[in-house]
Structure 1
Amino acid sequence: MKIENRTFDELQPGDTALLRRLCTQDDLIVFANVSGNHNPMHVFNVDGDGDGAPEAVAPGMFVGALVSAVLGNMLPGAGTLYHAQSLVFHNRAHAGDELESRVTVTDRNEQTGIVTLATEVTRPADGALILSGVAEVEAPRRKISYSSHDLPGLIVQRHRHFEKLLARAAPLPPLVTAVIAPEEPNSLGGALLARDQTLITPILVGCPDKIGATAAELGQSLDGVEIVAEPDHATAARRAVALVTEGRAGALMKGHLHTDDLLRAALDKQTGLRAGRRFTHVFVMDVPGLAHPLLVTDAAINIAPDLKAKKDIVQNAIDLAISIGIEEPKVGVLSAVETVNPDIPSSVDAALLSKMAERKQITGGLVDGPLAMDNAVDIAAARTKGISSPVAGRAEVLVVPDIDAGNMLAKQLTYISHAEGAGLVLGARVPIILNSRADDDMSRLASCAVAALHHARITGTR
């Protein structure tokens, strides 16, 4: 979009310009951090005045900045500098309001170069006047134009998708979860936090002395929490699996033990939790700036999956995506290229998986591949490459060729894009919550919420 200013000589009394802007929750977060004004009255999910409800009132200076946006972008536009501004506030604006900012030239002084403008901000929905005032500006003398595409962007690091998952899981009954070897602060703390949020009812399986010492270190009480004593990690994993088999638990959660010990017990042919499909891992990722959750699979279990394993990887991911509210998941099967190349096995597998979905061997979602990373998630990149499909540029599930690619992708999203990841193992009779020691509280809570939602759907308890 081309933006062009109006010079002093071009301006006449009566000239007017307006700009409409939806005031969002992210706007209030950005303004609080940029201005340093962290008044809780302006935070969307905080009760700032103690009346029991969050206010999310737009700060007065944020509303005033909407006037500045019209002056700086439109009338007079680029090159404008403030001389003075008066503001009178008549009503309050809130997150979710669409606001209209209007400026009108009322005078221009040839000697000083000062232009005077009447300014106001209204709420079109009900016609309410939010702000009125007068601006005096130094108008530009030279013509300037530029493209809006050249302006810097901003992404807010806020994990709205996980917040929605927690809200979606809140009405469900707590999922009874066997927590294996929660013998250090992160794993025990995560389980107790999920208990406090009524996401799970934990049964702690492991060494009681170590669990008790960890609880004391956290300053937490274990009153009312069942502890099943097992001396070592291998037997703790087997006992946790037995709790599921006995019908006492509806999920497993990894504590402070090696993933291999947990999976060995769950995969045991006689006493394990096999359910006919391969065990596969899915990261549900909340990526700032992305309009939907992003599922990445498989980044933790299957090292170099063949076509048969990839079929289960795709189907498990589709099933989980449906559980968290994606009605018809769009699955992009990744390769280095978006065309089938016999010398790149992942491109051949991707094409076959796409055809298998077309023939209903994979159900519940739309599957397309091969897709390179750019044209899987960016619609402009897909169009540039001439790819037209319901999935290209819109993928909600990314299926990687192998564990190396998946692990790198997930960690890039976490450490470079500041994403949060909820980890789950699927293919067993119950969800297996698989957290990393580096995961923070939100990741652990989201993992439990995803497990609870998936369990509720597959058991019909939702």
Structure 2
Amino acid sequence: MRLVNRTYDEMKPGDSAELRRLLTPDDLYVFAASSGNFNPMHLPNADTDGDGHPEQIAPGMFVASLISAVLGSQLPGPGTLYRRQSLEFLGSAHPGDELLCRVEVLEKLPEGLARLAVSATRLSDGAPILKGVAEVRAPRFKFDRDDVEVPGLIVQRHRHFEALVERARALPTAPVAVVCPDDANSLGGALLAAKEGIIRPILVGEASAIRAAGEALGADLSGFEILDVRGDAEAATAACGLVHEGRAAAVMKGHLHTDDLLRALLDKTTGLRAGRRFTHVFVMDVPGRPEPVMVTDAAINIAPDLAAKVDICQNAIDLALSLGMEPRVGVLSAVETVNPAIQSSLDAALLSKMADRGQIKGGLVEGPLAMDNAVDMGAARTKGLKGGVAGRANILVAPDIDAGNMLAKQLSFISHAEGAGLVLGARAPVILNSRSDSPMARLASCAVAALHHARSGEAK
């Protein structure tokens, strides 16, 4: 970034400078975090007057800080110090507004001081937001440098999941068989999704234990269907039966071991086999990424062979299409070139060619790709990689369960991502939550399942 100032001697009345700035929801979060002003009226998702619509008013001092940006970066520029500032706030700004912030030199005062008129207006309609007068000490020495850098900020919010939940709310409520929801986490997640209008839970398990969990949560379960079934395996089988009967559109894991649930799902007679292998997909909302990132397979297929990886790719592509994404599959290995000594690189190359020949449909598939050049365009260009996936992958196919699980958990616990977990390849999507999942992760898992079910129903 290049910064050039105008010294006191260079300034003259009538000089002006301006800055255009598009306000975003992230601006409100950053200002709240840095200033300590947590007034809900100034946050993107809080409703303070009860009308159902967040006010989302940009704090007046945030808009004023944009005036400070013009003074400190342009006119007079680097070396400027505030002495006084008078402001009159004339209107409100909101995320989505583009503001024009302007300063103009009114007069030069003795001892290096200057008075400037300041203003901020909304560009769309010219509405004034603020006006006032600033008195500053102007710089005495010239500053002209192009090496001024400021670290970037990533706001830890999960906008992609918020968007998916909003889309799922618009769908007909999906009936979901929740298996053994007899603890606070599993029952609470199902009830949260029901409250948001995304699912209609059918609670399958020991009725007395489910009601006890509801009492512990202070939740009224009188409006929910409870199917009294004793035993984890029996409850999982009963949930499969609800799908076969057309009474449930998805299955949700509650307080039981994953193996017990999968055993029932895979049963050749009463389970939910549908032709493809069962595969697991984490849909990750990683702060700072332009879209969700999928990681597969991180929970079911331990050491998948080529045939299993075909299903892993296809299931993930189908889910991405359900979520409105353009599927770009990066098949990961330790290297981005084919090495006969590294089986994952051979599998990746074969999967890429199979997609070229139409054996994997609906998305772009490229591999082998190392992690860096799968998700970072600069790394891809450095390696001379071209095509539609390198540097832009939104589906990451891990070579085995170890790599997939580590990658998903690194994104969660180091990059502060939220992850929605889904098992695909069955007759109905299976929501596979972890005990450590946050309420947002559980809600997003239900939203993802509802969106996938809706598209699957359209396809039929």
- TM-score, structure 1 normalization: 0.95
Matched, 1:344 2:345: no
**Structure 1 stretch displaced more, 37-46 or 170-179:** 37-46
Structure 1 runs (4+) deviating above 4 angstroms are: 145-149
2:204: which partner in 1?
Answer: 205
Deviation per CA, 1:232-273, whole angstroms, max 9, x where unpaired? 212211221122222221211111111111111111122211
Of the three residues 414, 439, 442, the one matched with 2:440 is 442
Change (3 A) 1:384 1:220: same
Shift of 1:52: 4.4
Change (3 A) 1:148 1:176: farther
2:333: which partner in 1?
Answer: 335
**Structure 1 stretch displaced more, 184-193 or 48-57:** 48-57
- CA distance in structure 1 between the partners assigned to 2:434 and 2:148 by the alignment: 39
Change (3 A) 1:317 1:68: same
Q: Is the 8 A contact 1:280 1:426 kept in 2?
A: yes
Shift of 1:319: 0.3
Shift of 1:106: 2.5
1:240: which partner in 2?
Answer: 239
Shift of 1:78: 2.0
- CA distance in structure 2 between the partners assigned to 1:126 and 1:356 by the alignment: 54
1:97: which partner in 2?
Answer: 97
Shift of 1:174: 1.7
- CA distance in structure 1 between the partners assigned to 2:328 and 2:62 by the alignment: 38
Q: Is the 8 A contact 1:422 1:435 kept in 2?
A: yes
Shift of 1:203: 1.6
For 2:158, the aligned partner's letter is H
Shift of 1:116: 2.0
Shift of 1:6: 2.7
Change (3 A) 1:95 1:347: same
- CA distance in structure 1 between the partners assigned to 2:344 and 2:10 by the alignment: 61
Mapping 1:164-313, distance limit 5 Å: 164-313=163-312
Change (3 A) 1:352 1:230: same
- CA distance in structure 1 between the partners assigned to 2:240 and 2:147 by the alignment: 57
Shift of 1:146: 4.5
Change (3 A) 1:49 1:147: farther
Identity of aligned residues (%): 67
1:357: which partner in 2?
Answer: 355
For 1:34, the aligned partner's letter is S
Deviation per CA, 1:124-178, whole angstroms, max 9, x where unpaired? 2222222211111122233334447720111111111111111111122221111
1:40: which partner in 2?
Answer: 40
2:399: which partner in 1?
Answer: 401
**Residues paired across the two proteins, number:** 460
- CA distance in structure 1 between the partners assigned to 2:335 and 2:437 by the alignment: 32
For 1:444, the aligned partner's letter is R
Q: Is the 8 A contact 2:328 2:389 kept in 1?
A: yes
Shift of 1:90: 2.3
Shift of 1:50: 4.0
Deviation per CA, 1:7-62, whole angstroms, max 9, x where unpaired? 33332333222111101111112212222222233222333334443222221111
Q: Is the 8 A contact 1:294 1:396 kept in 2?
A: yes
Secondary structure at the aligned position of 1:127 is classed as: coil
2:422: which partner in 1?
Answer: 424
Shift of 1:84: 0.8
Change (3 A) 1:50 1:264: closer
Matched, 1:29 2:26: no
Change (3 A) 1:188 1:50: closer
RMSD: 1.7
- CA distance in structure 2 between the partners assigned to 1:333 and 1:12 by the alignment: 61
Q: Is the 8 A contact 2:329 2:395 kept in 1?
A: yes
Change (3 A) 1:52 1:435: closer
- CA distance in structure 2 between the partners assigned to 1:372 and 1:7 by the alignment: 51
Deviation per CA, 1:174-214, whole angstroms, max 9, x where unpaired? 21111111121100111111122221111222122221221
Q: Is the 8 A contact 1:39 1:48 kept in 2?
A: no
- CA distance in structure 1 between the partners assigned to 2:165 and 2:425 by the alignment: 23
1:71: which partner in 2?
Answer: 71
- CA distance in structure 2 between the partners assigned to 1:91 and 1:135 by the alignment: 19
- CA distance in structure 1 between the partners assigned to 2:145 and 2:167 by the alignment: 44
- CA distance in structure 2 between the partners assigned to 1:387 and 1:10 by the alignment: 50
For 2:356, the aligned partner's letter is E
- CA distance in structure 2 between the partners assigned to 1:453 and 1:411 by the alignment: 24
Structure 1 spans left out of the alignment, 5+ residues: none
- CA distance in structure 2 between the partners assigned to 1:97 and 1:45 by the alignment: 17
**Structure 1 stretch displaced more, 51-60 or 188-197:** 51-60
1:459: which partner in 2?
Answer: 457
Secondary structure at the aligned position of 1:277 is classed as: coil
Of the three residues 411, 414, 428, the one matched with 1:413 is 411
1:385: which partner in 2?
Answer: 383
For 1:95, the aligned partner's letter is P
Secondary structure at the aligned position of 1:135 is classed as: strand
For 2:23, the aligned partner's letter is C
Change (3 A) 1:206 1:365: same
Change (3 A) 1:287 1:151: same
- CA distance in structure 1 between the partners assigned to 2:360 and 2:236 by the alignment: 32
Q: Is the 8 A contact 1:281 1:297 kept in 2?
A: yes
Q: Is the 8 A contact 2:3 2:148 kept in 1?
A: no
**Structure 1 stretch displaced more, 358-367 or 428-437:** 358-367
Secondary structure at the aligned position of 2:9 is classed as: helix
**Structure 1 stretch displaced more, 50-59 or 244-253:** 50-59
- CA distance in structure 1 between the partners assigned to 2:150 and 2:12 by the alignment: 29
Secondary structure at the aligned position of 2:238 is classed as: helix
